[in-house]
Every structure is written in C-alpha cells, then in structure tokens.
Amino acid sequence: MEQVTFINRKEQESTVSSPAMDYLNIFVRGNRLAKKMIWKNRYFRDLGDIYSRRISFSEKIRDILSTEVKKSNFKEWSDFPKKIAREHYGIEFPHETPSLALQEVFMANIYFSFPEFIPEKGETVVDAGSQYGDYSLLCSKVYGAGKVISFEPLEHIYDAFVRAVQMNSVNNIEIHNAAVSSSDSTVEIHNFDGQMGSKFGNSPTKAVKSVKLDSVVSGQVDILKIDVEGFEIDALEGARRIIKENHPKIIIEVHSRDLKRKTLNLLEEYEYIVIHEGRKAYSTSGHIDMIQNLYLY
C-alpha cells in the first residue's frame, strides 16, 4: 500500500496573529512595566524574535508570563485572548472561561494559518475535543460554517461552552457532553486542574460518557478537528465511516511520537497526505513525549 506522502512546504510557524500584535503594541504604549522592559532591551528583542518568526508568539508570551506572573500587569496580559476574541472577532465568553485557555486559537492562531483548512461558508465541521468552544465559535460566527458538531467530556467546561453559544446567539453549533472514542460506552480520563481531560497523567481519573463519531454524526463532514489529549487513535477508530465516505480535511493534535506513527499508519489506509506539520513541543515525562498538530487531506 502506498505510504503517506509528505508535501514539502516552507515551515509556517504558529506566530502571532495580526490582532494580537495590534493589542500588544497598544498594551506596550500604555503599560509602565512593559516600557521598563523595553528600556532593558529585553522586550524589544522579544518582538524582534516574533516578527522574524524565530520563535512562536505563544512560546514567547508563556516565557514572559512565567517571569511577570507575580507583577501587577499579569491580569492585563492574561486577559489578552478574551480581549482579542471580543474586540476583533465579536465573540464573547462567560467569566468562568479562563482567558489563557483561549490563547492558542486567538493569539497563536494555530487552526487558521492555512487557507485550505479554514471552513468555507456552509461547510460542516466536527470539533472533537472542543474545550470552551473557541474553535467552534470561530468556525460558526466568523468563517460561516453551516454546522459545527462539537464534543466536550468535562461537564463544567461543557456548561461554559453552552453559555458561550447562548451569549453569541449562534444556532448552528450542536454540542455533545461526551468524549469521542472507539465505542459508545464510558472512558476514564485524567482531569488536569479542571481545564482539560487526558488519557495520560497522574491526577485522579473520572468516568465520562464516550461516543463514536460514526454513531452521532451523519451526512457530509468537511473538516474534522481532533484534540483529545491521547485518545487520537480511539477517536479515529470511531470515525472510520466518516473518513471513508467524506474524506474530510483533518486537523489532529498528536500527543506522542508513538501516537503520531499510529495516526499516520491508520490514515494511510484512506490515502491521506500530510499538508503541514506544526511546531513540535517535547517533554521527557510520562507518555506524552511530543505534542504536534498535523494537517492532513
């Protein structure tokens, strides 16, 4: 059988989005500590790194926040993602949604850097692992997806997502309080600080409802986004019919080298091509030794 083909493209890092840079510049002009950082030359160097794409904005902002977390400007920094969502995209989130949980989508722009993976008007998007709904709401409210079918297993995050949908008056997002897996049953997930569920970890586990995408989703699927923290293969196994019948564009975050290999092997059966491999993050602890987004079609 033909191997998965990799198309050689110039690496496009997940750098700062245009609205994020606009707000960053405004923040610098009006913030005493930020000005102080410029005089120390550190901040100027950071901006240079970001503009030249030597480092992603999300990495740099995390580095700055880790140093400045105890200083008085932390709240202003941490509120950036919600501010960008509200003022640039017209998307509101309830107060219980942590602003930093929105960072990857609204500041690092990880899902919308490649035009071929942005939904066209009327298309159907499946969001497996929706968390607080940032990706789903952008697809629905900004990019004009006809329908978004979302899945979030943790009840309190699901509730916050439901409130966000109500606040934004959208009626084309269908939300399921369930994990996606290879069977319609239950799965045990680790709960990290109440912000996400994962297959791996040392935290206590919780049994949650699981569903096969093939059991819930019918009709055309144009984009399948999967971010399920270690359950990648389970999710794909439960979506074989969808993949075979629709051949949707797939955005999937893999959480280890082994899961990446297994993901590519599974999708090889359906003649998928890796269009882009996102920036890799490495870890030396536990099962999650690498995290990377793959964009396939």
**Helix or strand or coil: residue 192?**
strand
Q: What is the mean pLDDT of residues 178-182?
A: 97
Structure confidence at residue 38 (pLDDT): 46
The tokens describing 215, both together, are: 């059991």
The alpha-carbon radius of gyration of the chain (Å, integer) is 19
Structure confidence at residue 3 (pLDDT): 36
Q: Which residue has the higher pLDDT, 158 or 42?
A: 158
Structure confidence at residue 44 (pLDDT): 45
Strands (E) across 178-272 are located at 179-180, 185-192, 196-198, 205-211, 223-226, 249-254
**Helix or strand or coil: residue 229?**
coil
- Over residues 81-129, the pLDDT tens digits come to 898 999 999 999 999 999 888 988 988 888 998 999 999 999 999 999 9
Question: Using 50, 70 and 90 to split pLDDT, how confident is the model at 80?
Answer: confident
The H helix count followed by the E strand count for the chain is 13, 13
- Over residues 236-252, the pLDDT tens digits come to 999 999 999 999 999 99
Beta strand 196-198 pairing with 185-192: antiparallel
Q: Are 152 and 177 in contact (CB under 8 A)?
A: yes
- The model carries a pTM of 0.77
Instruction: Kindly list the structural domains of the chain, giving each domain's residue range(s) and its CATH number in brackets, ordered by start.
Output: 5-9+109-296 (3.40.50.150), 18-101 (no CATH)
